[in-house]
Chain A
Amino acid sequence: MSELLQVEGLKTHFQTESGLVRAVDGVDLSVNEGEVLGLVGESGSGKTITALSLIRLVSPPGKIVAGRVMFGGQDLLQASEREMVQLRGDRISMVFQQPKASLNPVRRVGAQIAELFIHHRGASRRAAMNQAVELLARVGIPAPERKALAYPHELSGGQAQRVMIAMALALKPRLLIADEPTTALDVTIQAQILDLLRELCRDTGTAMILVTHDLGVIAQTADRVSVMYAGQIVEERPVARLFDDPRHPYTRALLASMPVQGRVAPRLGAIPGSVPPPGRMPAACRFAPRCAVRAERNMTICTHEMPALYPVEGGVSRCWCDAPAEATT
């Protein structure tokens, strides 16, 4: 499998009145052609900002201050805005968390899909409209000719997300970034939408970065998983390895907090403490203050030095426990 996207040392910072917020602080990611990478983490861990940084749509005061985003032999952080406009929606597209809020309320949904063909492919209005109707049928919208003329407020949340997916995959992009695509939907709809995403991506050979806080969604959909904590990647593994043998203490805690079907746990695990506030980010390992392993083994290095990403079976882990012996001395 060849590598489609490679992100190295991505940093996106926000200059706010209360100080500098390092929302994304040195993220490394890689996505292979046609694969589904799950990007998982608690709210506030920087997942969404990472996703938006990849296509350079972070709103001010957010600013990408360092890193490389290699895609198709080009560093997107060095590309001109004009090149980015051409690339967005065509080769990299995005699906957002709130489908109904992501559609223009005063334009018909068919026209909103059709404009992709008009702008990126130079299609005529009529041909574009026909393609839009076909796409609506493809994503499972009943009576697509009629729904193409509907306004977003006339759709249900699930239908709106199907429309967003139709738009995102209209031009058969190489990469789809799906930011919490099912979070705002009813549980019954969530599985349908995930299946649809996976199926369509497989058909078009599109790779996907699936951003979510929901490990269930990850288990169902992803091939590989990157776990994010406080603006950094802490572990990256194939999905089966991550669930069977999590290495980073944060991943372990995260998995322990997930209910497992068929197993009656006396009490679900909760991670003590909370994500450190932006102003008081630990200088060394960011998870150290909440880390059970550090407390148990009484490791001092964790609060003095930042661990790197160390190779573990199938992937990497940002934990001193996984560091080779020479690194800790």
Chain B
Amino acid sequence: MTAYIIRRIAMTVPVLFGILFVTFLMKALIPTDAVLALYSGQVSEEKAAEAIAQIRAKYDLDKPWYQQFAIYVGDVARGDLGESIRTRQPIVDEIGYRYWNTLVLTFASLVVALVVGLSTGIASAYWKGTWIDEVAMGIGLLGISMPAFFFGLILIFFFAVQLRWLPVMNAGDWKGLILPAVTLGLIEAAPLSRITRASMVEVLSQDYVKAIRAKGLPERHVIFRHALPNALLSILTILGLQIGGLLGGAFIIEVVFGWHGIGELAVKAIGWRDFTITQAIILVSATTYVLVNLVVDILYAWADPRIKLG
């Protein structure tokens, strides 16, 4: 187990370097020269040329690419993500509090997704083919088919505009968390429910479930202590993908609800053409995704003792 974890962590190191390299290369790939864009049309040509040279020197853009990359890696390692082209403020400060917000929203929506997804999935599997199954799977299909922003708008219309129970936009308190968390949670619950149902149906048909029932254990125990842990593996897989995606920023939902998270910042930064922020967000999101998957892989080994090493 320990050897597996160490090996799995070692495997993520090259991936993290890959992410650094790709975000670094993005600079060369974007169609406009950020420095030129900054000064074009604002000052006289010779002054601009001088300023541009200064800026290039300041940001080490005059050095060879491998030196630039080494500097970039060093900065990131020290927690310096550079500064925003637009505001000249350190990006870390901006991303820091927004990352926390995204974390809060992710966690809250995950709670909703787990409660709704697992309970409907388990109930559907247990009462397979009955009306309970049909209803749960029908709603699940709706959840998978409906775009998140549309569902969010419907919730806003009912709970904020019509009933006036909750704020339309986030005002920074816990009330502002409910609607985006429920929206995201229910949308994420749909695939979770279907995966849970499918793997529970499979587990419940196994020989050992019959053998466990023959031992005279209460049905509750058979389902939650014996069957569910066996279904956990495929549930973990989809859960890892979902958490990774959510932590990378639920772009549209954050914008719709005015939630100041990573996703909203990304949309704004792209609008501002603020290259450095965009670059930093991609770096942070991708790294989060990799780390979440690392955790999921380690959880696999815990959930299924048969996994020696993938």
Q: Do A and B come from one complex?
A: yes
**Residues of A that sit less than 8 Å from B by CB:** 52, 55, 57, 59, 84-90, 93-94, 96, 98, 101-107, 115-116, 119-120, 151, 153, 164, 167
Using CB atoms, name the residue of chain A closest to B128: A60
A87 to chain B, nearest CB (A): 7
Q: If the complex has contacts A104-B230, A106-B229, are A88 and B213 also in contact, measured as CB distance less than 8 A?
A: yes
Residues of B within 8 A of A153 (CB): 305-306
Does B211 count as interface, using CB distance less than 8 angstroms?
yes
Query: B150 near A: Cβ within 8 Å?
Result: no
CA–CA, A153 and B226, complex, Å: 16
Q: Are B305 and A106 in contact (CB under 8 A)?
A: yes
Q: Does B21 sit within 8 A of A, measured CB to CB?
A: no
Chain B residues with CB under 8 Å of A89's CB are: 214-217
**In the assembled complex, which residues on chain A have CB atoms less than 8 Å from the CB atom of B206?**
101
Cβ-defined contact, B211 with A107, below 8 A? no
Chain B minimum-CB-distance residue to A97: B207
Q: By the criterion CB–CB under 8 Å, are A85 and B210 in contact?
A: no
Distance of B80 from chain A, by nearest CB (Å) = 45
Question: Which residues of the partner chain A approach B213 to less than 8 Å between Cβ atoms?
Answer: 57, 88
Query: Which 3 pairs, one residue from A and one from B, show the smallest C-beta to C-beta distance?
Result: A89-B216, A88-B216, A89-B215
Given that A104-B226, A107-B229 are known contacts, is A119 also in contact with B207, CB under 8 Å in the complex?
no
B217 touches A102 (CB 8 A): no
Q: A84-B216, A102-B208, A106-B230 are in contact. List 15 more A-B contacts (CB 8 A).
A: A55-B214, A59-B210, A86-B216, A94-B214, A98-B207, A104-B230, A105-B304, A105-B305, A105-B306, A107-B226, A115-B215, A151-B305, A151-B306, A153-B305, A167-B215
**What residues on B are CB-neighbors of A103 within 8 Å?**
208, 211
Bound together, the chains give a CA A119 to CA B208 distance in angstroms of: 18
Q: Which residues of A contact B216 (CB under 8 A)?
A: 84-90, 116, 119-120
Closest CB of chain B to A238's CB: distance in Å? Answer: 29
Please give, as numbers and ranges, the residues of chain A lying within 8 Å of B215 by CB-CB distance.
88-89, 93, 115-116, 167
List, in ascending order, chain A residues with CB within 8 A of B230's CB: 104-106
**List of B residues within 8 angstroms of A84 by Cβ:** 216
Which residues of chain A have C-beta atoms less than 8 A from B303's C-beta? Answer: 106
Quick check: is B212 within 8 A (CB to CB) of the other chain? yes
Within 8 Å CB of B306, what residues of A?
A: 105-106, 151, 153
For A98, the chain B residues whose CB sits under 8 A away are 207
Interface check B46, CB cutoff 8 A: no
Is B221 an interface position by the 8 A CB rule?
yes
Instruction: Give complex CA distance A268, B212 in Å.
Output: 41
6 A/B residue pairs, CB under 8 Å, sorted by A: A52-B210, A57-B213, A94-B214, A96-B207, A103-B208, A115-B215
B214 touches A101 (CB 8 A): no
Most chain B CB within 10 A, of A85, A86, A101, A153, is at A85
Chain B residue nearest to A154 in the complex (CB): B305
CB distance from A290 to the nearest CB of B (A): 32
Is A102 a contact partner of B207 (Cβ separation < 8 A)?
yes
* Nearest CB in chain A: distance from B202 CB, A: 13
Chain A residues near B210 (CB, 8 Å)?
A: 52, 57, 59, 96, 102
Shortest beta-carbon distance from B35 to chain A in Å: 57
Which of chain B's residues has its CB closest to A151's CB? B305
B219 at the interface (CB under 8 A from A): yes
- Chain A residues, Cβ within 8 Å of B218: 85, 119
B225 to chain A, nearest CB (A): 8
Closest to A153 in B: B306
Identity of the chain B residue whose Cβ is nearest the Cβ of A91 in the assembled complex: B216
Measured between beta carbons, the chain B residues less than 8 angstroms from A116 are 215-216
Quote the shortest CB–CB distance from B79 to chain A (angstroms).
40
Q: Residues of B contacting A101 with CB < 8 Å? A: 206-208
Measured in the bound complex, the distance between the Cα atoms of B211 and A52 in whole Å is 11
Q: Which residues of B contact A55 (CB under 8 A)?
A: 214
Shortest Cβ distance from B219 into A: residue:
A85
Task: Give CA–CA (A167, B217) in the complex, Å.
Answer: 13
**In the assembled complex, how far is the CB of residue B298 from the closest CB belonging to chain A, in whole angstroms?**
16
A102→B219 CA distance, assembly (Å): 17
B214 touches A104 (CB 8 A): no
Which residues of chain A come closer than 8 Å to B208, judged between CB atoms?
A: 101-105
Instruction: Determine how close the nearest CB of chain B comes to the CB of A40; give it in whole angstroms.
Output: 22
Chain B proximity of A131: nearest CB distance (Å): 15
Name the one of A52, A59, A119 contacting B217, with C-beta atoms under 8 angstroms: A119
B123 CB to nearest A CB, Å: 17
Residues of B within 8 A of A88 (CB): 213-216
Knowing A93-B215, A98-B207, A105-B230, say if A119 contacts B221 (CB, 8 Å): yes
A96 to B209, CA, bound (A): 12
CA distance A85 to B222 in the complex (A): 11
Instruction: Using CB atoms, name the residue of chain A closest to B233.
Output: A106
Q: How far is the CA of A116 from the CA of B213 in the complex (A)?
A: 11
By beta carbon, the residue of chain B nearest A106 is B229
CB-based contact B211/A93 at 8 Å: no
Q: CB within 8 Å of A: which of B180-211?
A: 206-208, 210-211
Contacts of A107 in B (CB 8 A): 226, 229
Q: Which of B284-310 contact A (CB under 8 A)?
A: 303-306
CB-nearest residue of chain A to B211: A102
